[in-house]
Homo-oligomer: A and B are copies of this chain.
Amino acid sequence: MSLVEPDDIDGGESLSLHQRILSDIREKILSGAWAPGHRIPFEHELTARYNCSRMTVNKALSQLAKAGLIERRRRSGSFVRQPQSQAAVLELHDIRIEVEALGLPYRYERLERLKRRSSAEDRGLLGLSASGPVLALESLHFAGERPFALEQRLINLSAVSEAADEDFLDIAPGPWLIGRVPWSEAEHRIRAMAADETIADALDIDAGAPCLVVERRTWSAEHPVTHVRFIYPAESHTLVARFTPSQG
């Protein structure tokens, strides 16, 4: 039941002690050797075991607690938590990068650009309470000859006024916004949908064909910035999300 033999301590790689303690304990938990509910050695025990100061041990344990692997209780000690609610990290790439990763030539085409006062629907999508100017954009992303995704976007001009002067013919709104607007929060909705006439037409697929729809709403410091809907033909797209419990 020992974490490491004292002699092993200096035998490791050039990992910092802090990292060493972290990965040791994480390993114990993930391998199941320490089941949920198991009490982890007290800080002073780990201090002795690793022959280091309490601060170092404390930093490692605090980190494990923040990652949700363990729970710390004063006077009682630290305990392995029940397996957490599962959460996955979903990487949302730039469409250009995605297409180029497939080895296909990327092309972007702006279809429509309309400046208007926000309709009730616009406000619903953006999460705006009051009316104001918005920019509505519709664009196509191509992989080689075939349409890869249809993009329907709303930009809140009250939050990003410079967008009013941009025609978005040469640059897609996504890359344009990134780097210009620091975003603090985003919400995604992912669903399946049958293509209606308009969408089928744009994507060059049959009406009624299944599509994957990814909608993203972005805020920057409490202000709604943009709402975007990407529509992918089912065959062309799979989202991949990978999960590793802790962020060591």
A interface residues with partner B (beta carbon < 8 Å) = 29-32, 35-36, 66, 82-83, 85-93, 178-179, 181-194, 208-213, 220-221, 232, 234, 237-245, 247
Contact = CB atoms under 8 A, between A and B. Distances in A.
Interface centre among A86, A182, A192, A232 (most CB of B within 10 A): A192
How many copies of this chain are found per oligomer?
A: 2
Nearest to A208: B208
Contacts of A93: 85
A245 B89 CA distance: 12
B193 A210 contact: yes
A-B residue pairs, 8 tightest by C-beta: A210-B210, A192-B192, A192-B234, A192-B212, A188-B241, A190-B239, A30-B184, A191-B238
Given A35-B182, A190-B241, A194-B209, 5 more contacts: A89-B89, A90-B188, A190-B239, A208-B208, A210-B234
7 contacts: A30-B184, A35-B182, A85-B91, A85-B92, A87-B89, A190-B241, A194-B209
A179 B36 contact: yes
B89 A189 contact: no
A244 B184 contact: yes
B183 A210 contact: no
B243 A187 contact: yes
A30 B219 CA distance: 10
A178 B245 CA distance: 14
A191 B91 contact: no
